[in-house]
Amino acid sequence: LVLTCVSSPLRSYIRYSQICAQVVRAAMKPQYKAEAERAAKATVKTVKLKKE
């Protein structure tokens, strides 16, 4: 696994951690794999605060 730094180190680390998570989920036993895949579909919502 080779990771090249395209822009910021943080963005590269996030991509690296995503790849690691995919590898770990792929290596899991079937009985645990379904639960891990459900948890992987979690999303994050960002909200821009209004200046008053």
| Number of domains within the chain | 1
Which of these, 8, 13, 9, 18, lies nearest to 44 by C-alpha position? Answer: 18
Residue 16 lies in a domain: yes
Query: Tens-digit pLDDT profile for the chain (52 aa)?
Result: 444 544 566 678 888 888 888 888 888 888 888 888 777 776 667 778 788 7
Report whether 20 contacts 40 (CB < 8 A).
no
What is the predicted pLDDT for the residue at 13? 82
Rounded Cα distance, 5 and 36, in Å: 28
What is the amino acid identity at position 48?
A: K
Residue 1 lies in a domain: no
Residue 18 lies in a domain: yes
Residue 25 lies in a domain: yes
Residue 47 lies in a domain: no
In Å, what is the CA distance from 40 to each residue of 32, 37, 46?
Answer: 13, 5, 18
Residue 17 lies in a domain: yes
Residues 6 or more apart whose CB falls under 8 angstroms from that of 36 comprise: 24, 25, 28
Q: What is the pTM of this model?
A: 0.50
Q: Which domain holds residue 31?
A: 9-39
